[in-house]
Amino acid sequence: MDAMGGDHGLAVTVPASLDFLQAHATAHIILVGDPQLLAQALAKAAPELMTRIEIVAANEVVLMDDPIEIALRRKKNSSMRLAIEQVKEGRAEAVISSGNTGALMAISRYLLKTLDGIDRPAIATAIPNELGTGTTVLDLGANADCLPINLLQFAQMADVMLRVVDGKSSPTIGLLNIGEEVIKGNEVVKEAGELLRNSQLNFFGNVEGNDIFKGTVDIVVCDGFVGNIVLKASEGLAKMMTGMIRTEFNRSWLTKLMALCAMLPLVRVKNRVDHRRYNGAVLLGLRGCVIKSHGSADRLAFAAALERAYEAGKNRMVERIAEAFSAQVTQ
CATH superfamily of 1-118+285-297: Isopropylmalate Dehydrogenase (3.40.718.10)
pLDDT band at 330 (very low <50, low <70, confident <90, very high): very low
In the chain, domain spans: 1-118+285-297, 119-277
Rounded to whole angstroms, the Cα distance separating 51 from 330 reads: 45
CA angle 305–62–8, rounded 5-degree value: 50
* Across 301-313, average pLDDT: 93
* Range 320-328 average pLDDT: 83
Q: Please choose, from the candidates 218, 160, 197, 195, the residue with its C-alpha nearest in 3D space to the C-alpha of residue 205.
A: 197
- Asked if CATH classification 3.40.390.30 holds for the domain at 119-277, the reply, yes or no, is no
CB neighbour list of residue 147: distance below 8 Å, 6 or more residues apart: 119, 188
SS (H, E, C) the chain: CECCCCCCCHHHHHHHHHHHHHHCCCCCEEEEECHHHHHHHCCCCCHHHHCCEEEEECCECCCCCCCHHHHHHHCCCEHHHHHHHHHHCCCCCEEEECCCHHHHHHHHHHHHCECCCCCCCEEEEEECCCCCCCEEEECCCCCCCCCHHHHHHHHHHHHHHHHHCCCCCCCEEEEECCCCCCCCCCHHHHHHHHHHHCCCCEEEEEECHHHHHHCCCCEEECCHHHHHHHHHHHHHHHHHHHHHHHHHHCCCHHHHHHHHHCHHHHHHHHHHCCHHHHCCEEEECECCEEEECCCCCCHHHHHHHHHHHHHHHHCCHHHHHHHHHHHHHHC
- Minimum mean pLDDT range among 232-236, 259-263, 285-289, 294-298: 259-263
Q: What is the pLDDT of residue 128?
A: 87
Instruction: Answer whether 1-118+285-297 and 119-277 agree in fold.
Output: yes
Out of 151-165, 251-265, 281-295, least confident range: 251-265
Reported confidence tier of residue 124, pLDDT bands at 50, 70, 90: very high
Intra-chain end-to-end CA distance of the chain, in Å: 38
List, in order, residues 6 or more apart from 141 with CB less than 8 Å away.
101, 123, 224, 225, 227, 228, 231
Count the alpha carbons within 13 Å of 83 in the hemisphere toward its beta carbon: 30
**% of the chain surpassing 70 pLDDT:** 87
Mean of pLDDT over the chain? 89
In this prediction, residues 122-131 reach a mean pLDDT of 90
Per-residue confidence (pLDDT) for residue 232, from 0 to 100: 85
Report how far residue 65's alpha carbon sits from residue 79's, in angstroms, rounded to the nearest whole number.
16
Number of neighbours of residue 49 by Cβ within 10 angstroms: 16
* Range scoring the smallest mean pLDDT among 8-12, 174-178, 256-260, 317-321: 256-260
Average pLDDT over residues 284-306: 93
